[in-house]
Structure 1
Amino acid sequence: MIELTGRAALVTGGNRGIGRAFVEELLARGAARVYAGARDPGDVDTALVEAGAVPVRLDVTDLGQVAAAAAVCADVSVLINNAGHFANRRLVLTDEPDAARAEMEVNFFGTLNMIRAFAPVLAANGGGAIANVLSVAGMVPTPFMGGYSTSKAAALWLGTIARAELEPQGTQVTSLIVGSVDTRMAAHVDGRKEDPRDVARAGLRAVERGESVADTDWMAVDARARMARDPGRYERQLAKLLHASTLRTGR
């Protein structure tokens, strides 16, 4: 269990979408300081800054920037690894073979870079908490999000391993399983989409309760339930969605 009020937190990709929602919700819950990481600090909205957010230059794939952020944000005891990349390309039958590598660099290695750099910071501040913003596509193999799905699956196992390694220093690690959210990254997705602020609220509740893995919304719960009930059938349904998407978009 962890109390978020009065703590300093850092949110990667904190300038828009789910990341921005986490920044807003942390400020609303009385965090002492909230750093909003962004590749360009100028992208952090003025309204967020006026509300108390502190912009930090941070590309999670740049080890120099990650180290600099760990030095500047030395008071952090809550780390939200939210930055993500979705290339929207096929994994095997692709005309852009480097797309999957780019997804892995951000979604897996970027998260690993942040955990490695901030583990000593969190230890110095009493242990604290890490939340990795993942995806239902990391729990259920999703063909129409091939590179993204595999990179988020890798990040899921990273969370489990980090939890074991950091347990002696009192750092809890929560993997947040997110479904379809109304953000720019999910603009291509049809159907029901969750409000990013609702996802942030659910995620922070899971952190406060010290949960290891937590679904943040209806789609995450439903997808995992379908997979558990009949894995073969659900896999075939996802394959059909891949081919339907190919007919509609040509890729």
Structure 2
Amino acid sequence: MTTDSTLFQAEKINNHIVKWLLDYANNAKVKGFVVGISGGIDSALTSTLCAQTGLPTLCVEMPIHQAESHVNRANEHIDQLKNRFPNVLNERVDLTPSFETFKNSVPNSENEVAYNLSLANTRARLRMTTLYYLAGIHGFLVTGTGNKVEDFGVGFYTKYGDGGVDLSPIADLLKSEVRLLAKHVHVPESILTAKPTDGLFGDDRSDEDQIGANYDELEWAMAAYENGKTENDFSDRELVVFKIYKRLNFLNQHKMNPIPVCKIPQELK
């Protein structure tokens, strides 16, 4: 399942999001937006939409042993955006030393998979801390870059990492819709055609490598699951993808649902 480009109202959606961003910022009485730039399509689209508001938009690159291809795409996008919008600013914060200090300060683990995943999530949380620091000194909002499949389908983000934001302008767009809108707002071709990646492992592994399915497949599975389909309805590759989606959706509910609060009965107070 992918969005039909002939039916996608890119300009109207573009205008709707930009107005929503502007209204939110004005109501919150903040001065602008800060966006972490990864070299991927989601952050490129989000920062472009923020820039269109006319409010100061701070694009932040935060490398941690980053793959060169990611860095190059991030810089290409930032340079292009600064040329197009006079309200775009940028910062580069090299978090590699901070990450190494953290890694050398905490205990190691014999569970290599859990150890590497925990360190990957640490990268995202260091970046979140950096974005909130910059937002604080400038009076800006930390703007989320997650799409609908990531944020509400498979939970493919780090809790209190890239999931730690003030507002999420593209979280109601499927990945196929993100691609269409990114093309509409003239995101660089190198980013439009790059394989999606979270960039948390310091190499070029893609989201598909980690998840086991691409975003078109996940969109299909998300729709099927929401329409009440079960594993009995599918076979072959469809069954594999459906199982992947269903497993991740279940395992990551702790990210997608509000934090549970233990309510104390009134008679115990």
More strand per residue: 1 or 2? 1
* TM-score normalised by the chain length of structure 1: 0.43
* TM-score normalised by the chain length of structure 2: 0.41
Greater relative contact order: 1 or 2 (C-alpha under 8 angstroms, separation 6 or more)? 2
Q: Considering only CA atoms, is the larger Rg found in Structure 1 or Structure 2?
A: 2
